[in-house]
Amino acid sequence: MHPRARLAIVAAVLVAGGVTGVLVAGNGADPADDVFVQGSTPSIPLPVQCLDLPSEMSRPDWFPDDLPLPEGSYVSLTPEQRAPGIDEIVFTAKGSLDDFVSFVLERWEDAGWSLGRGEREPGEAESIFFTAGTERYGQFRARQVYCDESYTEVQLFVVVDPSKTQQPGTSPQPTPQSS
């Protein structure tokens, strides 16, 4: 290939990349302003092997009464406790994944819970959450896995209450800070 032809191809690729970068960066949206950062991958359809809705279980006493969930949500799994004061629970939340994320953004702060910087990917959203003063905190992952798209699986990996984890003679654990 002639050296000038190679140079022209390289220049065309660089120009195309530059134009794409300007178009993407110039859309006026700053993802840092969002609590949930949207991934660049478009939405995907449900997995081929979607899940049937699980049975309802009773809500455990340790679950915070002030952590709201959408109306019609229910407990679907309560694995064994990881350690004193560190609990895990799975909810089947009424509403789509987008509905659940909107609910969290609208309702949790009003209930006294703050969110860390979350992450969104196709079919999944996750974030940390915490309260000031009581120093309770946790992490959730919401996934679009059910065949019935009007429900979302929400795994609250941990809900930590430092008053239950502190051993005699030790200092409390640090509280997560929002960014």
Per-residue confidence (pLDDT) for residue 132, from 0 to 100: 80
At residue 5, φ and ψ (nearest 5 deg) are -65, -40
Beta pairing partners, 171: none
Rounded CA separation 58/79 (Å): 13
pTM of the model: 0.65
CA distances from 83 to 88, 107, 162, 163, 164 (A): 10, 29, 12, 13, 10
Contact criterion met (CB below 8 Å) for 102 and 35: no
pLDDT, tens digit, 9 for 90 and up, residues 55-70: 999 999 888 889 999 9
91 neighbors 67 (Cβ within 8 angstroms): no
Domain map (residue ranges) of the chain: 1-30, 34-165
Residue 104's CB: how many other CB atoms inside 10 A?
A: 26
pLDDT in tens, 136-163: 889 999 999 999 999 999 999 777 777 6
pLDDT single digits (tens) 72-107: 999 999 987 777 777 899 999 999 999 999 999 999
Q: Whose CA is closest to 93, among 78, 107, 73, 68? A: 73
pLDDT at 50 over 90: yes
User: Are 91 and 154 a contacting pair, CB within 8 Å?
Assistant: yes
Cα-Cα-Cα-Cα dihedral sign, residues 26, 31, 34, 40:
positive
Distance CA 175, CA 137 (A): 8
